[in-house]
Structure formats: C-alpha cells, structure tokens
Amino acid sequence: MKVVFTEIPDVLLIEPQIYGDERGFFYESYNERVFLEKVGRSFHFAQDNHSRSIKNVLRGLHYQIEQPQGKLVRVVVGSVFDVAVDLRKSSTTFGQWVGVCLSAENKHQLWIPPGFAHGFLVLSEYAEFLYKTTEYYAPQHDRTILWNDPDLAISWPVQDEPIVSAKDKVGKLFSEAEVYQ
C-alpha cells in the first residue's frame, strides 16, 4: 500500500497494491495494522456506507459539528471527483480544500480525518461510492456548506449545473458555517 500526502498533509491518498491476472484482481481495501502505520493513529470505524448516484450528482459539502466523522472513501463502480475541506480553525490549512479523482479503475482511496467537510461529484454515467466512518451518523449534528461557495472556490470539473439535493441547495456559506476549534 502506497500513501501519498495531498496538499493538506492530513488528507491521504491511499493507493493499494493490486494483484491481477487474466482471472481478475485482488487487493486489501483495508488493513488496520497498515492503516495505523501509515496514518500514525488508530481509528475505530463505526459505520460503513454505500451510495449510488447518477452522472453530475454532487453530494456535499457535509460534516458533523459534533461527533465529527473521519472517512475512508473509495469508488467501486464509475468515477467521482472527491473533495475534502479543512474546517479545523487551529489548522494551518483551515479553509483549504483538496480534490482527487477516485474510480473503480484506479482503486484509490482517500482518508479524510475528523474535522473536514466532504463532498463528491459523479463523473461517470453512475458511480457507487463506499466509505467507512469513525462515528455514527448523527442527523442533529449534520451540517452542510454550499458546494459552490465563492470563498472556497472549489474547482469542480462540472460542465452543466450539477444535480444537488434540497438539503445541499440551502447549505451555509463557509464564512457563516460552524467550524471546529
């Protein structure tokens, strides 16, 4: 397993070792011992989530102000542009974002530690997105930042207006959002 530091060093791109031949492929999508070694801290994963979305669906930017969730995310069908935004006010990268392409083809994963907002845009005809979370979903603590906030200026690779949920359409501006100390 290869770990690549992104522009925000706490957000890690994980490239698994793929073993393939004419029959197909195999790889470890998660190994607690290796994760601890590479991330430098052990996390308990409380929940696994699986979503399927059609092309041009944009989900996010979501976070929980209490019970913040770390997320280990990957795509098993299709491709997405995945984004993490640092909401940790004490961080030197506060308000910065990182975006990567995750796909069934590249099998990359992204580790997004607690304290970040997260979102993704589906680039393929549809995508299936899997993620492990370090905390349970807590709707009372769920928050949303507008995906197109001008202060964040995320370079989403979108050509048409994305398909966004009602919840995501009324997200807060970054300047008005609750953040972590």
Candidate list 62, 63, 108, 118, residue with the active-site label: 62
30 in active site: no
Tokens (6 digits) for 35? 């994760």
Looking at 30, 126, 131, 141, which residue is catalytic?
131
Q: In this structure, are residues 123 and 80 in contact, taking their beta carbons and an 8 Å threshold?
A: yes
Q: Helix %, strand %, coil % for the chain, to 5?
A: 10, 45, 45
DSSP H helices, 12-113, are: 32-39
Return left, alpha or beta for 105; rule: phi > 0 is left, psi -120 to 50 is alpha, else beta. Answer: alpha
Active site residue 141: no
Return the SS3 of 98: strand
Distance CA 98, CA 65 (A): 20
Catalytic residues: 62, 131
